[in-house]
Chains A and B, each alone.
Chain A
Amino acid sequence: MLINRNRPWHLSENAVTPEELYLNRRDFMKAGAALGMMSFLPFPAVAQDAAIKPETSLTYDPAPNIYSTREQHTRYEAATTYTNFYEFGTDKGDAAEKAQKLRTTPWTIEVDGDVVRPGRYDIDDLIDRTQLEERIYRLRCVEAWSMVIPWIGIPLAAVIDRVVPTTKAKYIRFETLYDPQQMPGQRSSVLDWPYVEGLRMDEARHPLALLAVGMYGKELRPQNGAPVRLVVPWKYGFKSIKSIVRISFTRRRPLNSWQKSAPREYGFYANVNPEVDHPRWSQAKERRIGEFFRRPTLMFNGYGEDVASLYSGMNLRKYF
Chain B
Amino acid sequence: MHKALFKKIAFVLLATPALWLGWQMYHWFSFLPHELTANPQKFITQYTGLWAIRILIVTLCLSPLSWAGWRSALSYRRMAGLYAAFYAMLHLLNYFILDYGLDMAVITKDILKRPAISIGAIAAVIMMILSITSTQAMMWRLGRLWRRLHRMIYGLAILVPVHGFLMVKGDRMELSLYGMILAGLLLMRLWRFCAGRYRLMGNRP
Which A residues lie at the B interface, using CB under 8 A? 16-17, 22, 25, 29, 36, 38, 40, 42, 75, 77-78, 81-82, 86, 90, 92-93, 143, 145, 188, 190, 277, 279-282, 284-285, 287, 289-290, 293-294
Query: How many chain-B residues does the 8 Å CB contact rule pick out?
Result: 32
Cross-chain contact A145 with B24 (CB below 8 angstroms)? no
Cross-chain contact B37 with A81 (CB below 8 angstroms)? yes
CB of A75, distance to nearest CB on chain B (Å): 8
A289 and B39 contact, Cβ closer than 8 Å, known pairs A17-B33, A40-B34, A280-B116? yes
Within the complex, which residue of A29, A40, A90 is in contact with B170, where a contact is CB–CB below 8 Å?
A90
Cross-chain contact B33 with A282 (CB below 8 angstroms)? no
CB of A164, distance to nearest CB on chain B (Å): 38
B41 closest partner in A (C-beta): A287
Cross-chain contact A38 with B166 (CB below 8 angstroms)? no
A262 closest partner in B (C-beta): B169
Cross-chain contact A145 with B171 (CB below 8 angstroms)? no
A294 and B114 contact, Cβ closer than 8 Å, known pairs A40-B27, A90-B170, A285-B106? no
14 further contact pairs, Cβ within 8 A, besides A90-B170, A287-B41: A22-B33, A78-B38, A82-B38, A92-B38, A188-B171, A190-B170, A280-B166, A281-B110, A282-B110, A287-B99, A289-B38, A289-B39, A294-B99, A294-B103
Residues of B within 8 A of A289 (CB): 38-39
CB of B168, distance to nearest CB on chain A (Å): 9
Docked pose: A280 CA to B164 CA in angstroms:
12
Residues of A within 8 A of B23 (CB): 38
Residues of B within 8 A of A36 (CB): 16
Residues of A within 8 A of B101 (CB): 293-294
Kindly state whether residue B32 has any CB partner on chain A within 8 Å: yes
Cross-chain contact B37 with A280 (CB below 8 angstroms)? no
Within the complex, which residue of A81, A188, A294 is in contact with B100, where a contact is CB–CB below 8 Å?
A294
Residues of B within 8 A of A38 (CB): 20, 23-24, 35
Kindly state whether residue B189 has any CB partner on chain A within 8 Å: no
Identify 12 residue pairs between A and B in the complex whose beta-carbon atoms are under 8 Å apart, listed by A's number.
Answer: A16-B31, A16-B33, A40-B33, A40-B34, A75-B38, A90-B171, A143-B169, A145-B42, A277-B113, A285-B106, A287-B41, A294-B101
Residues of A within 8 A of B169 (CB): 143
A86 and B170 contact, Cβ closer than 8 Å, known pairs A25-B33, A38-B23? yes
CB of A103, distance to nearest CB on chain B (Å): 25
Kindly state whether residue B148 has any CB partner on chain A within 8 Å: no
Which 7 pairs across A and B sit closest by C-beta, in order of nearness?
A82-B38, A78-B38, A90-B171, A90-B170, A293-B101, A289-B38, A190-B171
Kindly state whether residue B167 has any CB partner on chain A within 8 Å: yes
Interface of A is mostly: loop
Residues of B within 8 A of A77 (CB): 38
Kindly state whether residue B2 has any CB partner on chain A within 8 Å: no
Residues of A within 8 A of B144 (CB): none
Kindly state whether residue B109 has any CB partner on chain A within 8 Å: yes
Residues of A within 8 A of B170 (CB): 86, 90, 190
Residues of A within 8 A of B33 (CB): 16-17, 22, 25, 40, 42
Docked pose: A175 CA to B110 CA in angstroms:
35
A81 and B38 contact, Cβ closer than 8 Å, known pairs A190-B171, A279-B114? yes
Docked pose: A82 CA to B24 CA in angstroms:
17
Docked pose: A220 CA to B109 CA in angstroms:
39
Residues of A within 8 A of B35 (CB): 29, 38
Docked pose: A29 CA to B24 CA in angstroms:
14
Residues of B within 8 A of A277 (CB): 113
Residues of B within 8 A of A16 (CB): 31, 33
Docked pose: A92 CA to B39 CA in angstroms:
10
Docked pose: A281 CA to B173 CA in angstroms:
21
CB of A256, distance to nearest CB on chain B (Å): 15
Docked pose: A125 CA to B108 CA in angstroms:
54
Docked pose: A90 CA to B24 CA in angstroms:
22
- One digit per residue, 1 when the CB lies within 8 angstroms of any chain A CB and 0 when it does not, for chain B 29-65 equals 0011111011101100000000000000000000000
CB of A176, distance to nearest CB on chain B (Å): 16
CB of B196, distance to nearest CB on chain A (Å): 41
